[in-house]
Structure 1
């Protein structure tokens, strides 16, 4: 939920967590799903680059899916390391939920 007005294009938060490959992603998803874990926070950025914030993460993992989202994920490089940020796709008013399209591929 936005705690203040956020302008279009403004950086909101970095999406952090453990970066895992496809094989580990599939294993974890299977283990959690059939192990009774009901809440898991996995964000697939591209093939072999998935952020698992289930055990290590920040508030970004709580952003919900929206068919008309007000946020986008963008990749950038810091010292050769890929980072993922959440940015406002249009002005977001205080109190609005923060959403992005879970099917989106990052720019």
Structure 2
């Protein structure tokens, strides 16, 4: 285990409203991570360092949803040994959409987009 992704637990409808508000407020990035169909963790304003972990098409970590005391949590685990000064990354696995988000990970196996 590397770190838990923490923030406010909100429903999808609240996450949609917040995402729109963040855009209107000029907040360049929002940190919304889907736990399941109805639950989102919003780390935009009250998260930890996990929200700053970048995407890679060839990551050294992966995200896993676990249940602790009947509460779902997102935990980042390492796939391999990680060296000091090595960037921690995982695959965001965004859903496929028509509008592509360019990937800048630089991996040899880069897919070219996050979705």
TM range (shorter): 0.7 to 0.9
Q: Which has the higher contact order (CA 8 A, sep 6+)?
A: 1
The CA RMSD measured in Å over matched residues stands at: 1.7
**2:69 is equivalent to residue 83 of structure 1:** no
TM-score of the superposition, structure 1-length normalised?
A: 0.80
Matched residue pairs, number? 95
Q: Distance in 2 between matches of 1:75 and 1:39?
A: 23
TM-score of the superposition, structure 2-length normalised?
A: 0.75
More strand by share: 1
Q: Distance in 2 between matches of 1:104 and 1:28?
A: 19
The structural deviation recorded for 1:39 is: 2.9
Q: Distance in 2 between matches of 1:77 and 1:45?
A: 11
Q: Taking structure 1 as reference, are residues 22 and 51 closer, same or farther at Cα in structure 2, changes over 3 Å only?
A: same
Q: Distance in 2 between matches of 1:83 and 1:26?
A: 20
Deviation above 2 Å: which 4+ runs of structure 1?
none
